[in-house]
Amino acid sequence: MYVLLVAGNNTATVVFSMLGKSLICIAYSVVYVFGNEIFPTEVRNVGVGTAIMGSHVTSMTAAYVGGPMVCDLLLTYLRLS
């Protein structure tokens, strides 16, 4: 249903994209705050440090994995138009 709703409407695409991004940011903030309240300091430091390291490694590799995909899609679009 989401694809049918947004397929031809750029405004709806932007609105739903920003809404999804906002909800993800809110969820991350809530988990970060409640994690500090629930776990003891030693466990919390290891868990938060590991999660931050994983997010940094993932964001570094995303440019190498996703970059060529975006370039291929852009080149395909330019060739077809």
Under 8 Å between Cβ of 26 and 12: no
The SS3 of residue 8 is coil
pLDDT in tens, 11-43: 777 888 888 888 888 887 887 788 778 878 888
pLDDT at 26: 87
DSSP class of residue 40 equals -
Average pLDDT, the chain: 75
Q: Exposed/middle/buried for 44, CB within 10 Å: 0-12, 13-18, 19+?
A: middle
**Residues in the chain, total:** 81
pLDDT band at 71 (very low <50, low <70, confident <90, very high): low
pTM over 0.85: no
Domain housing 76: 2-80
Q: What is the count of structural domains for the chain? A: 1
- 39-49: pLDDT as tens digits: 788 888 888 88
Token pair of 16 as six digits:
């739903």
